[in-house]
Structure 1
Amino acid sequence: MTEVKSVLVVGACGPERREHAEAIAGARGAAIVRSERPRAADRPGRWLDDLAATLHVAAPEDCPHDGARDLVVEVASEVPVLEAIGLLDSDGTPGALADVVCVVDAGHLLEDLFDDDYLPEFVARALLAVRQIEFATVVVVTNWSGLTAPDVSLVVSLVSHLNPTAHLELDVQRWLDDDRRGAPNTPTGLRPGWIRRLNSDHPSSFSPRIRDERVSTVRYESVRPFHPGRLRAALEELERGGRESDGRGRGAGRVVRSAGFARLATRSGITAQWEHVGRMFDLLPLEGDGTAEEPLCVGQDLILTGIGLDEDRLRRLLDAAVLTDAELLAGPREWARFHDPFPAWIHVRDRA
């Protein structure tokens, strides 16, 4: 029996995503399976159940050797890419996941990453878009012919920093003709640039395949927790500085994506995941020191990727947001008095 293979096609722009899914399916003689856009009225995970059922119809387990067909699975931009990967890579799904192809519209990339719209489930569209790039094995950049060469260079370099191991192509047909398959030896979970940079002992080991001098990645570390009030002010300054840096060369640059682990002084003993893209920012509690053998981080360990970053200014801005010597010596009881503008965290025990 011939093993059925599937290719997941994602992307923020629907027409381009559909066009490339059809091109891949045509080249492979594969069947196209589409996941519709989740509706607000649907129960959580409804789209996942519907897609799983459709996959079994498209590629039945008892398909004869000469009738086996590969699958091209196109999912709507509102579908979380990690959930789609989990479904296609599970034992209960027909076939094996061969590639995750992300279609990027060069002219709209920054617009997609700075989209401030949220879905009804309180998921930022920008976060969905950046994760599609970060977890792809292949990124196809399209609609670039109308851009200048420097603009194309910037877009491709930014994609390469977000996902250093992805196979980058400006023409899907070239990838199909060459039959190249990304970097199969790299686990999907290790593809995002911020994860790979956190796991790197030296900056030189983080190697985006395509570089543009305007695009860079900075690692920020500090053993001191953040003062939440000053952190909020620093984030606002970063957003203002990003806008100013485009036109007047001020500020620390335009931070497009940052992620990692952080601690707030007012929430002692809890490590938070720092999740930021464009205008979207969130801190998500991960664990307390009493529930893990060792904390994920003592203070801050962040990876920041952007355009025109001034590393010195960026570090000074974040350094000003961590506790001073006097505040650090005052201890957790005094930290609890600090102004904390961030939303309260709902812990698992609270939900129960």
Structure 2
Amino acid sequence: MTHHPRVPLVLVSGLAGGPNAELAELLRAAGPGTAVVHHDLREIHSGVVRRRLRLGERDELTVLELAHGCVSCTLREDLLPLLRRLARRPEVTRIVVRLDEAMEPEPVSWAIRNVLVGDHPVHDDVDLRAVLTVVDCASWLADATGDDELADRNLQGSPEDERTVAQVALSQVEFADVLVLAGAATDAWSAAKASAVLDRVAPSVPRVELSRIDGHSALDAVPANARRGEVTDMHGALLRGEPPLHPDCGIALLTFTARRPFHPSRLHDALDVLLDGVVRTRGRAWVASQPDVAFWIESAGGGLGLGHAGPWLASPDGPKWTDVSPERRTLASLRWDPVHGDRAQELVVVTDQATPDEVEAALRGALLTDEELAQGPEAWLRYPDPFGNWHEEPCEDTEPDPARHDATAANRKEDQ
């Protein structure tokens, strides 16, 4: 294999196609060797993706027909191989990928680092320098707190895509290195409330205004400690930066922790509290009936999902300490219990109409009582368990889905 310098890569994400295109154009104008790639997924339900590539005077539109119309196959079959080809062209000095509105930057970043194209990941050819997320100030707050599904707006990434607009809106800003604000809020209250939400879900991410930047200044705003595509460790810290701890415009932050497991049936009932008046929930849960696997709970607006995040370090089939990140080892050491190891509850909840006290009371009521705790792990395994490995609301039935039982966190990211 011929070694060559990795080409800088920038991802542009956001729900507003127009401002996204404007930012991509600013980045293209910042250097004559900048290639801009965009995949339009609006006809992906028919297996058709339209790819536009601009490089210098070249403006090329290609219609791709995919055997399985989805974001994942678009990545594997076209975007990743294209990135490798572009990176190896001498005239290309930077690549900008303007993601379709339905695409979240984290699974794309994961694929760049982990999916093999030939014998190597594309990460060997490109250097992900920045993830820029455009926030449409007129609509982002409603998007991030609403109940709409992507399908309601013809924005789904596959025919089976059941994600909510809120999930995508929040995932895009949480993974950003810079937030690019476009347009203006409809009123001062909406502007202040949106700012309060961003302060809590993306506290360390700088914000710039689209109308006041060019391609150079947008990239200059990326802080030295930016994540630059680093994929979330589900057993790592749940907060990046230091969000405000005081309420603002009705928006508040709750960190829920506990050192005893949830009762599965009571947790199932308590999850309803996360679907009304809660902007965002992210975190790990220890469920008594499944003691060897960490559950990942995530909510956004009116949608909620629960899945497996892999075994605890203390589980019989858990990973070796040397095989996990230093951050995970540190967090586990700080809370290690001589009996239960690193098993614990840790959830971060951003509330709106609901109060932190209401959420705290509902979750704490789902924990095992002292009497139940004293019965021991053998009794806990016999509790009725409404959870499979992935649980979505609204809940139509409580039977575990065997087809999803072995899914991993990495698979969920890749399949989005």
TM-score interval (norm. to shorter): 0.7 to 0.9
Secondary structure class of the residue paired with 2:37: strand
Paired residue for 1:112, among 116, 138, 143? Answer: 143
Contact 1:101 1:139 in 2 (8 A): yes
C-alpha distance in structure 2 between counterparts of 1:78 and 1:319, whole Å: 35
Q: Could you say what the CA RMSD is over the residues aligned between the two structures, in angstroms?
A: 3.6
Secondary structure class of the residue paired with 1:98: strand
Change (3 A) 1:149 1:6: same
Does residue 292 of structure 2 align to residue 287 of structure 1? no
Paired residue for 2:74, among 44, 47, 50? Answer: 47
C-alpha distance in structure 1 between counterparts of 2:293 and 2:236, whole Å: 23
Paired residue for 1:270, among 293, 297, 314? Answer: 293
Higher helix share: 1
Paired residue for 2:100, among 62, 67, 76? Answer: 76
Secondary structure class of the residue paired with 1:104: strand
C-alpha distance in structure 2 between counterparts of 1:328 and 1:302, whole Å: 21
Tell me which residue corresponds to 1:131.
171
Paired residue for 2:37, among 33, 36, 39? Answer: 33
C-alpha distance in structure 1 between counterparts of 2:44 and 2:298, whole Å: 25
Q: Which amino acid aligns with 2:266?
A: R
Residue deviations 1:280-329, cap 9 Å, x none? 22222222611125788423111111325533332212111111112222
Tell me which residue corresponds to 1:301.
346
Tell me which residue corresponds to 1:227.
263
Change (3 A) 1:164 1:28: farther
Secondary structure class of the residue paired with 2:176: coil
C-alpha distance in structure 2 between counterparts of 1:147 and 1:219, whole Å: 31
Q: How far off its partner does 1:137 sit?
A: 0.6
Change (3 A) 1:109 1:96: same
* Percent identity (aligned): 25
Secondary structure class of the residue paired with 2:366: coil
Change (3 A) 1:326 1:195: closer
Q: Which amino acid aligns with 1:14?
A: G
Does residue 127 of structure 2 align to residue 101 of structure 1? no
Contact 1:271 1:296 in 2 (8 A): no
Q: Which amino acid aligns with 1:133?
A: V
C-alpha distance in structure 2 between counterparts of 1:95 and 1:197, whole Å: 27
Does residue 181 of structure 2 align to residue 141 of structure 1? yes
Tell me which residue corresponds to 1:247.
none
C-alpha distance in structure 2 between counterparts of 1:335 and 1:75, whole Å: 45
Change (3 A) 1:98 1:143: same
Q: Which amino acid aligns with 2:348?
A: I
Contact 2:10 2:95 in 1 (8 A): yes
Change (3 A) 1:209 1:139: farther
Q: How far off its partner does 1:176 sit?
A: 4.1
C-alpha distance in structure 2 between counterparts of 1:80 and 1:238, whole Å: 22
Q: How far off its partner does 1:19 sit?
A: 2.7
Contact 1:256 1:306 in 2 (8 A): yes
Paired residue for 1:9, among 12, 26, 32? Answer: 12
Residue deviations 1:154-194, cap 9 Å, x none? 212312321222121233533646452322323346798x9
Q: How far off its partner does 1:47 sit?
A: 0.9
Does residue 242 of structure 2 align to residue 206 of structure 1? yes
Tell me which residue corresponds to 2:26.
23
TM-score between the two structures when normalised by the length of structure 1 = 0.78
Tell me which residue corresponds to 2:391.
none
Superposed, which structure 2 residues align to 1:166-181 within 5 Å? 166-171=205-210, 173-174=212-213, 176=215, 178=217, 180-181=220-221
Tell me which residue corresponds to 1:249.
none
Change (3 A) 1:53 1:36: farther
Tell me which residue corresponds to 1:164.
203
Tell me which residue corresponds to 1:245.
none
Tell me which residue corresponds to 1:218.
254
Number of residue pairs aligned between Structure 1 and Structure 2 = 328
Q: Which amino acid aligns with 1:39?
A: I
C-alpha distance in structure 2 between counterparts of 1:329 and 1:122, whole Å: 43
Q: How far off its partner does 1:129 sit?
A: 2.9
C-alpha distance in structure 2 between counterparts of 1:92 and 1:221, whole Å: 37
Q: Which amino acid aligns with 1:85?
A: S
Contact 1:20 1:172 in 2 (8 A): no
Change (3 A) 1:150 1:196: farther
Can you give the 5+ residue segments of structure 2 that lack an aligned partner in the other structure?
Answer: 48-66, 114-120, 151-155, 321-331, 333-339, 389-399, 409-416
Residue deviations 1:168-223, cap 9 Å, x none? 1233533646452322323346798x9886478xxxx7246999453222110111
Moved more, 230-239 or 116-125: 116-125
